[in-house]
Structure 1
């Protein structure tokens, strides 16, 4: 048995267009003008998105305000979000052997709502940005609940790979999300898969 922690946006749900539109709007409304083009949003995820925003001059309280505004804006489009093909089946297969968590820079409530609407109830917990902004801390806290078993973090961005490694997990990059295979390789993932089925096949062999 292993601990398998999943990112949400770009791994489970195809949310890039909604995220770019709504997160950009929330940032601009609250004075963060570093978002002009879609690539500006995606670029935030080469590291921890919130740490990057702070490095660019935002304080934590303003980021919290942006998050609250984004929650409202995102909520208006939740019905538009769809899961990636075959990811639901893959999650179910993986959860039959391993402990599954969702660790995301998104908000827990919206994440749980979409997962539940799509019949995905195999996760133990969803740990979102309102609980802790550092993905490294969220991963390490989750690992502390399940010591002495292998731990994996599954993500779709270079930042996910960097944070997973810093937290002490094996990192799994998936290529159907936000960053290209070349960008993902910059984060030196331990494994890389092109389809949810490949991912499930690999994790089913993990003891």
Structure 2
């Protein structure tokens, strides 16, 4: 039996966290006396590890203290995310898709730009923590699109890259998966345009959670043949 590994991005793939992330990021810039980035600019960097994301957004402000912005963002995000539950809901069909993909020959994992504390909080809130055999966060590896998160997950599980697929909503996810030698499936309900995911080399695009289990089987079968 060949062990399969399906690695999910979190923000924009499993949970819809854009509202919290955009608000916290804009608040951090305002707090430091800087013009806030637009909603679209913030959505475009979701998926990157926080220091890299802030660095991209602050590039037009050479005087901007990136480390201070990172700290301000963390405080604002924590306050908003913990204010009430439900601020980062799962996308429709997430639980059902995960249950369908998880089989005797298939391990599940998460590779995310979130911190470990942030990921554990979200997974616990939605009752998903026990579903994943491996989780790799921004605390553990270099930021996407570097292959490190996937390579760490492969090392932890013993799975081969050739039987692994990354599922994500951003170009960073697709590029990360491909650079690690894995397959990649884009999802069209997240934060990057479908055309960009296709241009980055996604093997397939999921239009709904409902079709994701079939696409995982199809893509892994094709790359193995």
Question: Who is 1:144 aligned against?
Answer: 155
Q: Give the structure 2 partner of residue 114 of structure 1.
A: 122
Moved more, 125-134 or 190-199: 125-134
**Structure 2 residue matching 1:114: 3-state secondary structure:** helix
Q: So what's the TM-score if we normalise by structure 2?
A: 0.77
Q: Distance in 2 between matches of 1:25 and 1:103?
A: 26
Equivalent residue of 2:167, what SS? strand
User: Which residue of 2 is the match for residue 2 of structure 1?
Assistant: 4
Structure 1 stretch displaced more, 178-187 or 39-48:
39-48
Choose between structure 1 and 2 for higher RCO, CA contacts under 8 A separated by at least 6 residues.
1
Q: Are 1:70 and 2:73 counterparts?
A: yes
Q: Cα 1:91–1:147, aligned 2, differ >3 Å: closer, same or farther? A: closer
Cα separation, 1, equivalents of 2:124 and 2:46: 26
Q: Which runs of 5+ in 2 are unaligned?
A: none
Please report the RMSD computed on the Cα atoms of aligned residues, expressed in angstroms. Answer: 2.9
**Mapping of 1:92-111 within 5 angstroms?**
92-96=99-103, 97-111=105-119
Larger Rg: 2
Once the two structures are superposed, what CA deviation does each residue of 1:143-201 show, in whole Å capped at 9, x if it has no partner? 22324361111110122212221122101100011112122222120111111111122
Counterpart contact for 2:136–2:153, Cα < 8 Å: no
- Give CA-to-partner distance per residue, 1:108-148, whole Å, 9 cap, x none: 21221121121112012332212223232111121223243
Q: State the secondary structure of the residue aligned to 2:131.
A: coil
- Residues 16 and 89 in structure 2, CA contact (< 8 A), matched pair in contact too: yes
TM-score in terms of structure 1 length: 0.83
Shift of 1:6: 0.8
Structure 1: gaps spanning 5 or more residues: none
Equivalence for 2:38? 37
| Preserved CA contact (<8 Å) 2:135 2:153 | no
Q: Which of 203, 209, 212 pairs up with 1:196? A: 209
For the 8 Å contact 1:4–1:152, the answer to whether it is kept is yes
Cα separation, partners in 2 of 1:122 and 1:147, compared to 1, 3 Å: closer
Distance 1:53 1:166 in 2: 24
Q: How many residues align?
A: 204
1:18 is aligned to: 20
**Partner Cα separation in structure 2 for residue 38 and residue 63 of structure 1:** 19
Distance 2:90 2:213 in 1: 16
Q: Counterpart in 1 of 2:90?
A: 83
TM-superposed deviation, 1:73: 2.0
SS at match of 2:189: coil
Most deviating of 63-72 and 106-115: 63-72
